[in-house]
Amino acid sequence: MFRLYKYVLLFIFITSNVAFSQEISLFQQFNGRYDYLAIGNTLNTFENNIDRDFCEILPESQADLLLPVNTNIIAAYLYWAGSGEGDLEVSLNSVPFIADDIYLIDYNDSSYGVLTYFSCYADITDYIIATGNATYNFSNLDISETLFNNPGYCGNRTNFAGWSIYIVYEDMDLPLNQVNLFQGLDIINRNVREKIITLDNVNVLDNEGAKIGFLAWEGDALLNYGESLLINDNIISNPPLNPANNAFNGTNTFTNSNTFYNGDIDVYGIQDNITIGDTSVEIKLTTGDLDVNGILQADLIIINNIITVLNSQLPDATVQINAINLECSNRQITIDYTVFNINSTEFLPSNVPIAFYANNELVGTSQTINQIEIGDSENGQITIFIPDHLPNDITITVVVDDIGDGTGIITELNELNNQDTQNIQLLEIVITPLQPITNCDEGFNMAYFDLTLQLDSIKTNGEPTAFFLTLEDLQNNDNDILNPGNFQNTVVPQTIYLKIENQPCYDIYYFDLIVENCPPHVPQVFTPNNDGYNDWFNIQGLYNIFEKHKLLIYNRYGTLIFEGDNNNPWVGKSNKGLNNIGKALPVGTYFYVLYLNDSNYKTLTGWIYLNM
């Protein structure tokens, strides 16, 4: 059977003269085979309203801790309180402790004005575990200056000080319980005669052994006018220690003591005051009534904490984002996460749904695979795509026990701790253009390029670099150019991509390789004697570069003797004229006209000497 207990405090305040307070709210929750006990003592020599002569507190007092056998201490908290604005450092068995926090509350007295009261607490779990069962001596709480400088405390008999230790312990013979510790500082008095505290979002599935405890200060046994403690409108009591009309009367339920002057450590069984199926528990405290003379009398009661122990057997699913792995220039992300069932009293069943949100938009779902035992966890991973309409800066939220619309399918101890969030920025890569590299055509629109020259214009910070022919190859880190210092293009223009590592991603640059026709170089002489050297009119940078050129050769008489093109260079023979066609020409000076047929260049003319 699953049992659910959730607590959210809702306070209904009646108009009062209280200047401020710290609302009692959930401080810690413990789930397991747990229970608690409390020890403590007063620093008052007597009850304020019985002995009205003293105006000081004791320097120390003691209390004995006697835990049941075969128990393990889970948590321990030291509380101390009194008149005034507080003393943050006290001692326990001569060991100093400094307050983790302090609570303050004001009471506007009709005769003395505003009086302040305080309560401090400190987590002393490690110390109690190390010390164990022993006599604990509390000392060094000093409010003497407060009592001396402000006569109102002793004048209206609210001079008090005291301490208490709460211990949550594990006992394997206990049923599975949920222990909820609420704390703060709140007050009822003649100005605020009623306080209602609602423990909301409760799902009572088993009321057997249910109990509630209180730590309160400044209660007086002598002042029992209109004083009551009600649970769900039922007055609770523990006579003779705590009668129905005097709940806060300087008593300690754990020791059956009525000499805890102006302090109360009380616990009540409430299994008859809550019902299976209840969804809330209402606590009402009252004080104040007319005496026999018709004069209003009221006790001043300061509530420090409330603790509940209820039987429960429920899982508590929580989730943690371990890592979000991003891909460069990709809106696909991979989320590593862990589902826990730690603070629970029952196993978490398999197939619990998990929802994944990006900026509150559902982007993926998954589920647990195995049954998760108490205290265990299960790791998971999911790859999801972030929609294009969402920005690069997004909040990822993972919610366990969520079918994708905020609806859960299991009953848990705590329904408010099912999610984890993490802000991420998608790794968008900016592709930066660089100036092109231009080289002279070495034939058929091809040239050799030193791609590494581009590294001179950018900062690499010593990181690895690589050049690629396509953006896809760059992103996949495939087929990088092996010899970027001597690269021959294959098309014109050809785009080259440069990748520079830049954790957590990389930078991308791109540039074009431009092949241009450079001015051809015309030699002054050639020797077509078939010796294998300079046997033809080799105009450098012409053939296979200016593929559409036309070359005309004239003799000294102005007669056209040769006409050539890219496929027909001049080897010293004629192919024009009436005579000697195809025969070697005599030594001498000849004149050329070179039509490059390129809009960037003019027709070239000049002379060439043919020699043998």
pLDDT in tens, 319-330: 999 999 998 888
Write the CB contacts of 387 (distance below 8 Å, at least 6 apart in sequence).
331, 358, 361, 363
Mean pLDDT for all residues in the chain: 90
**Residue 107: predicted pLDDT:** 94
- CA torsion 563-564-565-567 (nearest 10°) is 140
Asked whether residue 278 carries a pLDDT value surpassing 80, the answer given is no
Tokens of 2: 């699953």
**The pairing of beta strand 431-433 with beta strand 60-65:** unpaired
For residue 85, what pLDDT band results from cuts at 50, 70 and 90? Answer: very high
Tokens of 587: 């030594």
Q: Please give the biggest Cα pair distance in the chain.
A: 156
Instruction: Kindly report the backbone phi and psi dihedral angles of residue 603, in degrees, each rounded to the nearest multiple of 5, phi listed first.
Output: -65, 135
**CA atoms within 13 A of residue 243's CA, in its CB half-sphere:** 12
Write the CB contacts of 259 (distance below 8 Å, at least 6 apart in sequence).
42, 250
Mean predicted confidence (pLDDT) in 581-600: 91
Least confident segment among 103-107, 153-157, 203-207: 203-207
Mean predicted confidence (pLDDT) in 289-309: 90
Asked whether residue 239 carries a pLDDT value surpassing 60, the answer given is yes
Domain annotation for the chain: domains and CATH numbers:
4-311 (no CATH), 318-425 (2.60.40.10), 431-516 (2.60.40), 519-612 (2.60.40)
Query: For 471-511, how does the pLDDT look when each residue is reduced to its tens digit (9 = 90+)?
Result: 999 988 999 999 999 999 999 999 999 999 888 888 999 99
For residue 5, what pLDDT band results from cuts at 50, 70 and 90? Answer: very low
For residue 143, what pLDDT band results from cuts at 50, 70 and 90? Answer: very high
Q: What is the CA radius of gyration of the chain?
A: 46
**Residue 583: predicted pLDDT:** 86
Q: Are 176 and 31 in contact (CB under 8 A)?
A: yes
Cα dist. 232→3, 108, 284 in Å?
20, 30, 8
Element at 148 (helix H, strand E): helix 144-149
For residue 447, what pLDDT band results from cuts at 50, 70 and 90? Answer: very high
**The pairing of beta strand 505-516 with beta strand 437-440:** parallel
Mean predicted confidence (pLDDT) in 183-194: 91
Cα dist. 452→15, 218, 290 in Å?
80, 84, 98
Query: For 574-585, how does the pLDDT look when each residue is reduced to its tens digit (9 = 90+)?
Result: 998 767 788 889
Asked whether residue 367 carries a pLDDT value surpassing 50, the answer given is yes
Mean predicted confidence (pLDDT) in 507-527: 93
Cα dist. 284→20, 199, 201 in Å?
20, 11, 17
Alpha carbon 455 to chain centroid, angstroms:
39
**The pairing of beta strand 604-610 with beta strand 525-526:** parallel
**Extended beta strands in 312-441, E state:** 318-326, 332-340, 353-358, 361-367, 377-385, 393-400, 419-425, 431-433, 437-440
**Residue 299: predicted pLDDT:** 87
